[in-house]
Amino acid sequence: MRQLPPSSNPSYGFTNSPFGECCIAFSNDGICALTFPESRESAYADLDHRFPETDFKQNDDKAARLAKQVFDKGEKPTLNPIGTDFQLSVWHAMQRIPAGQTTTYALIAEAIGRPKAVRAVGTAIGANPIAFLIPCHRVIRTDGGLGGFRWGLDCKKQMLEWEKRKF
């Protein structure tokens, strides 16, 4: 079961981002989730689904500090993604995509040595728990279409445009 030990001080908070309100979940081991939910209720449900045995404490101040570090200063805090070995390999490959650039699902599949696993790569990308910092928004279809995005295509477009301006 995906769980963060109580000793790791699992917390979450809501804060503003350039793409609307976000929810950041973190522990002493790093950020384990960054989402752009439609509502706070959906954020709670997502955390409960991802980490059913974890008792998170709310800490909006720390979430705001993390967001400032990411979106204002361009720093990359420590990440603690929790997933299968395959998912982790896909998420690691996505972190090598430079800001302001895109790649395809097929190229990610090749990068992890699984060129025929394009659909599985797409599924792993869709399960990415740490939006923006594990930049699933930078992955597009081979035909140049944006493909899907859990937080909506408008959010994906905003992220890509923001990165192109900033970087």
CATH (domain of 63) = 3.30.160.70
In a domain? residue 1: no
Same-domain check for residues 89 and 61: no
Is 1's pLDDT higher than 50? no
Average pLDDT over residues 1-8: 75
Write out the two tokens for 92: 């690691």
- Selecting among 22, 23, 32, 136, the annotated active-site residue is 136
In a domain? residue 80: no
Residue 155 bears catalytic tag: no
pLDDT of residue 93: 98
pLDDT of residue 4: 84
pLDDT of residue 143: 94
Higher pLDDT, 4 or 64: 64
Is 5's pLDDT higher than 90? no
Same-domain check for residues 65 and 107: no
pLDDT of residue 80: 96
> 16: domain range?
6-72
pLDDT of residue 2: 65
Same-domain check for residues 52 and 23: yes
* Tally of domains within the chain: 2
In a domain? residue 119: yes
pLDDT of residue 82: 93
Same-domain check for residues 56 and 107: no
Between CA 35 and CA 19 the distance in angstroms is 11
In a domain? residue 159: yes
In a domain? residue 134: yes
In a domain? residue 18: yes
Same-domain check for residues 159 and 89: yes
In a domain? residue 78: no
Average pLDDT over residues 19-40: 96
In a domain? residue 43: yes
Confidence of residue 118 (pLDDT cuts 50, 70, 90): very high
